[in-house]
Amino acid sequence: MADSLTIAISKGRILDEALPLLARAGVRPTDDPKTTRKLLLATNLAHVTMLVIRAQDVPTFVQYGAADVGIAGKDVLLEHAGDTLYEPLDLKIGCCRLVVAEREHGVGRQSRLRVATKYINTTNRHFARRGIQAEIIHLSGSMELAPLTGLADQIVDLVDTGATLSANGLVEREKIADISSRLVVNRASMKMKHAAVAELIARLQDAVAEG
């Protein structure tokens, strides 16, 4: 259908917060995304379907047109290399911040700063802007262990309350960016399915305002 829309949504916390937002916008999956094994979900709107996928995959699905729109954290979008996404709306959910953190009393650094993160591109840009040469070490999780074990001097990671940093003897040194979930749109879909996309954006704007 010319006006059909596919929405890609990140699993986890973003999904938990996006579902009530979408419901206020009048979009509800017919199956519970948290319990069904289906990956492509119908909704109460005949022209709208929903994909629930890994956060890092949302921009890729939208960029290549497998999904018309997506909901993903700004951290994922900053890391994504594509430039074909239109980002019309901050959904004000999944809020946290991306920070540089290290041990509270610091450590004796070697000749080159070592930074552990899963945000390789964003971290490289951050330190390059400051003229700092840093060796970036990719980790998928348990970032707090890197300074504690001597793997890295600092980490770049998402922080909400800061409790996990504190529990592991780490402190926030610098904020890179405030993070929240954003609506992203495939640019071709914005042109070819403008009416349907514009209606969804308007519904979500109202839902964010209500929230």
Assign domain 5-94+180-210 one CATH number from 3.40.190.10, 3.10.310.30, 1.20.1600.10, 3.40.50.920.
Answer: 3.40.190.10
Distance CA 68, CA 4 (A): 9
What is the bridge-based pairing of β-strands 154-159 and 181-186? Answer: unpaired
The CA distance from 107 to 115, in Å, is 13
Residue 99 CA to residue 121 CA, distance in Å, equals 14
Query: Which CATH architecture is the domain 96-177 placed in?
Result: 3-Layer(aba) Sandwich (3.40)
The model scores a pTM over 0.85 = yes
List the pLDDT tens digit at each of the 211 positions of the chain: 558 999 999 999 999 999 999 999 999 999 999 899 999 999 999 999 999 999 999 999 999 999 999 999 999 999 997 677 999 999 999 999 999 999 987 655 556 899 999 999 999 999 999 999 999 999 998 999 999 999 999 999 999 999 999 999 999 999 999 999 999 999 999 999 999 999 999 999 999 999 7
Task: Give, as one character, the DSSP assignment of residue 43.
Answer: B
Query: So where are the chain's domains?
Result: 5-94+180-210, 96-177
One fold for 5-94+180-210 and 96-177: yes
Token pair recorded at residue 50: 């929903």
**C-alpha–C-alpha distance, residues 155 and 117, integer Å:** 6
Alpha helices in the chain (DSSP H): 13-24, 58-63, 74-79, 120-129, 145-149, 163-167, 187-192, 194-210
